């Protein structure tokens, strides 16, 4: 089967995620004590931001303001409980007391949509930390790597110029063994992953000390095993989200973000 057809299958996997996993409009919550993962803050919307309830105004006294930008994996599709099981929620659970977390992720979003729909809300939150993982939906939609790099760069440019945040961007794991890509041309798929990761690397390199790569590709076999992919054959499972969170947490701690 040609890769384009396989991308259609993967895209349908996103669109057909069970309705029971739908999540409400973005909210923020202050972390007032050492929270367990089950009390981590906000859940991302599955409706476009134009119809979603606006996120609350940022607190001037929040210890750390953390904003997550992304798509269905940021929402937590595939987790038993997306509210606490998404990888951003797992990161937020380690924020110091008095911190705030806002998840702006939108299921199905591609990067150019996130630029228009999520970036303004992220800037408005005056974050100290921003995470982004946007790439796989673009790949599935066969968006050219140069166009993807331009859209991702526009988000990063906006965050760098209009906030003081440290920005953490995940790259693309080696998804060739993910069930949704079972019939893909593996060489062609790897070439696409490599091109996207080069685009991400170029965006990160533009802002040393402000923008940091979270490498999900190197040693990614554990991230795409049968245990760490959910039953839909595409999204991470609870175990997968934990591994993704661990990599973001390690990158944040290495750059001085005060996670517990």
Q: Give the 3-state secondary structure percentages of the chain, helix then strand then coil, rounded to 5.
A: 45, 10, 45
In the structure encoding, which two tokens stand for residue 152, read together?
Answer: 């991702």
**Which is more confidently placed, 2 or 239?**
239
Residue 17 has pLDDT above 60, yes or no: no
In the structure encoding, which two tokens stand for residue 98, read together?
Answer: 């008095």
Query: What pLDDT was estimated at residue 56?
Result: 55
pLDDT in tens, 105-138: 999 999 999 999 999 999 999 999 999 999 999 9
HSE toward the beta carbon, residue 106, CA cutoff 13 A: 18
Task: List the beta bridge partners of residue 101.
Answer: 29, 66
The confidence band for 55, taking pLDDT boundaries of 50, 70 and 90, is low
**Which is more confidently placed, 243 or 7?**
243
* CA–CA gap between residue 131 and residue 66 (Å, rounded): 8
* CA–CA gap between residue 14 and residue 46 (Å, rounded): 12
Query: What pLDDT was estimated at residue 61?
Result: 64
Query: What pLDDT was estimated at residue 174?
Result: 96
In the structure encoding, which two tokens stand for residue 46, read together?
Answer: 């599955």
Domains and CATH numbers, the chain: 3-254 (3.40.50.1110)
Query: What pLDDT was estimated at residue 1?
Result: 44
Query: What pLDDT was estimated at residue 62?
Result: 81
């Amino acid at each position: 089967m040609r890769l384009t057809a396989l991308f259609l299958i993967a895209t349908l996997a996103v669109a057909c995620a069970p309705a029971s996993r739908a999540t409400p409009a973005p909210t923020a919550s202050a972390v007032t004590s050492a929270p367990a993962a089950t009390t981590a803050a906000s859940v991302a919307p599955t409706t476009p931001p134009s119809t979603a309830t606006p996120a609350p105004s940022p607190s001037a006294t929040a210890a750390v303001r953390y904003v997550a930008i992304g798509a269905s994996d940021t929402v937590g599709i595939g987790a038993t409980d997306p509210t606490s099981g998404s990888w951003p929620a797992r990161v937020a659970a380690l924020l110091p007391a008095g911190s705030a977390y806002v998840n702006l992720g939108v299921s199905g979003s591609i990067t150019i949509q996130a630029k228009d729909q999520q970036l303004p809300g992220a800037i408005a939150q005056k974050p100290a930390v921003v995470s982004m993982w946007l790439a796989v939906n673009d790949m599935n939609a066969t968006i050219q790597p140069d166009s993807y790099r331009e859209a991702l760069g526009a988000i990063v440019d906006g965050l760098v110029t209009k906030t003081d945040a440290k920005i953490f961007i995940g790259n693309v794991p080696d998804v060739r063994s993910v069930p949704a890509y079972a019939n893909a041309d593996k060489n062609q798929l790897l070439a696409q992953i490599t091109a996207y990761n080069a685009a991400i690397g170029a965006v990160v390199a533009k802002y040393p000390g402000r923008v940091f790569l979270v490498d999900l590709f190197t040693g990614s076999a554990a991230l795409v095993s049968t245990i760490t992919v959910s039953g839909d054959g595409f999204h991470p499972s609870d175990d997968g989200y934990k591994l993704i969170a661990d990599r973001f947490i390690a990158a944040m701690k290495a750059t001085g973000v005060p996670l517990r």
